[in-house]
């Protein structure tokens, strides 16, 4: 990889080491910033926007006012003994985050070069080798930063590290083909087979997504379908049967069920965004089990919640 690409910068939110839920073996998962979809149930809303953002956890705040004094954009003020933010003025510089001693403010997103990130990822190379693991790019959506993602994959493959990408598959076909050249495994989200329902809950139709799924298979990539299992959206028999037919048609043998949970709710509030799934109950275990059994009966290897054994674990 040439020097120009090594110094290319991307924006990430987190590097999660010793992960066993985003591909085989022990892995390091990198969460990139930016996503073209706006899934109503999103568990990582802090990765939606490409730019850095500040989250505010008001229950931790003691209204000391230090953040107000530190803000160079005057985006913060005190009103009725409370800290009030003008989110339109906030540019995510992080001054308030660095000032806050109570972790009431959190910075989501920071720049890093390809060289810096690859060096960090290679520190766990022994764990990848001994466990059959590697590195997974997730998000957000890695395809929103195509040159950065492609360069990370290229740098890792030069060191013989197994690579995986978790993706919604929503991007131009030429971009998709280019980015996945050095990707060993694609963890491909299939949220719904109906384009109208897909657009209603994610903001985009699924035609491009399904075409890119076909490209994965045509290029011989190890492809796993991941279904974010959302109550009253895509957990009905009709949609599950449609996904079964899709997977069989594309000769895909492994399906992951990723049950809906409310772990991301607090982050929606911290980002001052309306969360439409506020009162939606988490996925029912009996329903999850029945769907898993239906998929297994159709001949698929099924995993619930991700992981490296690719077998049903509920």
Looking at residue 276, what DSSP letter applies?
A: T
Instruction: Please name which of 242, 245, 232, 272 lies closest in space to residue 85, comparing C-alpha atoms.
Output: 272
- Does 37 share its domain with 76? no
- Does 207 share its domain with 88? no
- Does 173 share its domain with 213? yes
pLDDT of 311 = 38
CATH (domain of 256): 3.20.20.70
pLDDT of 314 = 34
- Does 238 share its domain with 183? yes
- Asked, for residue 309, whether it belongs to a domain, the answer is no
pLDDT of 297 = 97
- Does 45 share its domain with 57? no
User: How many domains are contained in the chain?
Assistant: 2
- Does 21 share its domain with 41? yes
- Does 61 share its domain with 120? no
Token code pair at residue 43: 């568990």
- Provide the β-strand partners of residue 6: none
- Does 91 share its domain with 125? no
pLDDT of 127 = 95
- Residues spanned by the domain of 79: 53-108
- Does 168 share its domain with 290? yes
- How far apart (Å, rounded) are the C-alpha atoms in residues 293 and 298? 9
Taking the model in full, what pTM does it have?
A: 0.92
| Spans of the chain below 70 pLDDT | 3-4, 307-314
Angle (CA) 207-253-135 rounded to 5° is 80
- Does 162 share its domain with 193? yes
Using the structure block, give the residue that is written with the tokens 């990430």: 12
């Amino acid at each position: 990889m040439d020097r120009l690409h090594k110094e290319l910068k991307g924006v990430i939110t987190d590097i999660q080491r010793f992960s066993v839920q985003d591909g085989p073996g022990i892995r390091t998962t990198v969460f990139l910033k930016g996503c073209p979809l706006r899934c109503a149930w999103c568990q990582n809303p802090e990765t939606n926007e490409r730019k850095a953002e500040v989250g505010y956890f008001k229950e931790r705040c003691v209204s000391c006012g230090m953040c107000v004094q530190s803000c160079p954009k005057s985006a913060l003020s005190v009103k009725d003994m409370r800290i009030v933010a003008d989110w339109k003025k906030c540019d995510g510089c992080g001054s308030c985050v660095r000032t806050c001693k109570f972790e009431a403010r959190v910075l989501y997103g920071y720049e890093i070069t390809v060289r810096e990130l690859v060096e960090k990822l290679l520190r766990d190379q022994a764990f990848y080798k001994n466990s059959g693991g590697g590195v997974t790019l997730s998000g957000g959506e890695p395809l929103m930063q195509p040159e950065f993602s492609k360069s990370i994959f290229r740098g890792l493959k030069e060191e013989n590290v197994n690579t995986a990408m978790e993706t919604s598959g929503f991007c131009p076909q030429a971009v998709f083909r280019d980015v996945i050249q050095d990707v060993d495994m694609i963890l491909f989200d299939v949220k719904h087979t109906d384009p109208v329902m897909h657009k209603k809950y994610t903001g985009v139709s699924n035609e491009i997504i399904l075409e890119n799924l076909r490209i994965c298979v045509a290029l011989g990539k190890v492809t796993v379908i991941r279904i974010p299992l959302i109550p009253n959206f895509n957990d009905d028999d009709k949609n599950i049967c449609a996904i079964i037919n899709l997977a069989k048609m594309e000769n895909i043998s492994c399906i992951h069920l990723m049950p809906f949970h409310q772990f991301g709710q607090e982050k929606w509030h911290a980002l001052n965004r309306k969360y439409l799934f506020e009162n939606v109950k988490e996925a029912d275990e009996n329903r999850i089990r029945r769907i898993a059994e239906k998929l297994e009966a159709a001949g698929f290897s099924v995993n619930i919640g991700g992981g490296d054994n690719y077998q049903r674990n509920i």
